[in-house]
């Protein structure tokens, strides 16, 4: 039951983070559609700190201050790996499958969100 509640909260947090990331992404793509990879990176940079704050305080309810340095390093590591996976999926979707750069982020999200939740639960916040 705890995991289900956490996944639900993670989903809410993820929606907020993705709104932030996608807003940045679409602003960049609106300026120049060829900059879609840059837009994805910039959206990542803007949203990852928000993800750390929301996951540590709302989803997994971290209370130990001594873990925060370790967890922020793990968070940035995880989200960097997640970004690389997302960029790869985005690139393959647009360049090889000719999916619109406006639709491709949703394909990427459908793969990376479940992976991200599990990695947060079993690696970043495993001590909680």
State the average pLDDT over residues 106-123.
92
Widest distance between CA atoms in the chain: 47
Q: Is the pLDDT of residue 94 over 80?
A: yes
Calpha distance 123→73 (Å, rounded): 12
With a CB cutoff of 8 Å and minimum separation 6, the contacts of 67 are 127
Calpha distance 49→53 (Å, rounded): 6
| pTM of the full structure | 0.71
The predicted pLDDT at position 49 comes to 84
Q: Is the pLDDT of residue 3 over 70?
A: yes
Radius of gyration of the chain (CA): 15
């Amino acid at each position: 039951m705890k995991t289900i509640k956490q996944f639900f909260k993670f989903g809410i947090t993820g929606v907020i983070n993705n709104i932030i990331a996608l807003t940045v992404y679409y602003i960049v793509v609106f300026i120049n559609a060829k900059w879609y990879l840059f837009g994805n990176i910039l959206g990542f940079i803007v949203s990852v700190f928000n993800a750390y704050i929301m996951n540590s305080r709302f989803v997994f309810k971290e209370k130990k201050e001594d873990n925060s340095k370790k967890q922020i390093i793990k968070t940035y590591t995880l989200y960097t790996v997640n970004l690389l996976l997302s960029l790869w999926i985005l690139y393959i979707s647009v360049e090889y499958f000719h999916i619109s750069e406006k639709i491709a982020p949703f394909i990427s999200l459908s793969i990376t969100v479940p992976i991200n939740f599990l990695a947060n639960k079993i690696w970043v916040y495993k001590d909680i």
